[in-house]
């Protein structure tokens, strides 16, 4: 199990605390420092069953600068979104837990973290 976090994020800290409290075996990835490649983002999206726009933090300054709110959300624009997430990792929603069963969850709630633990 791996968790992508930004240590400055309260949701990330809460998720890590819950994983620790549950005695989970996991690896931390500080994704702002260890930036995921476009291929890794594609893989995580597949595990999440989501599209890149579903995990994009559109309120971030980088998103506003890119005009991302205006981008189409369709197959033709998918790679553009993925490239933006790889180039601007602050745009990636957090925390993301990759579960042992090959799935993943955006773990912004205790319930989502527990769901990942049960997989």
Q: Which member of 1, 9, 14, 77 is catalytic?
A: 9
Please tell me what DSSP assigns to residue 36. P
Q: Are residues 96 and 107 in contact, defined by beta-carbon separation less than 8 angstroms?
A: yes
Q: Distance between CA 70 and CA 27 in Å, rounded?
A: 35
9 belongs to the catalytic site: yes
DSSP string covering 77-105, please? GHHHHHHHHHH-GGGB-S-EEE-TTS-EE
User: Active-site positions?
Assistant: 9
């Amino acid at each position: 199990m791996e968790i992508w976090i930004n240590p400055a994020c309260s949701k990330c800290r809460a998720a890590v605390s819950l994983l620790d409290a549950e005695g989970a075996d996991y690896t931390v990835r500080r994704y702002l420092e260890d930036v995921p490649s476009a291929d890794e983002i594609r893989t995580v999206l597949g595990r999440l069953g989501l599209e890149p726009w579903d995990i994009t933090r559109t309120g971030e300054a980088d998103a506003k600068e890119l005009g991302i709110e205006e981008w189409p959300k369709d197959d033709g624009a998918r790679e553009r979104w993925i490239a933006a997430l790889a180039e601007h990792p602050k745009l990636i929603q957090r925390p993301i837990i990759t579960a042992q069963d090959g799935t993943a969850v955006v773990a912004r709630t205790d319930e989502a973290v527990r769901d990942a633990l049960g997989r």
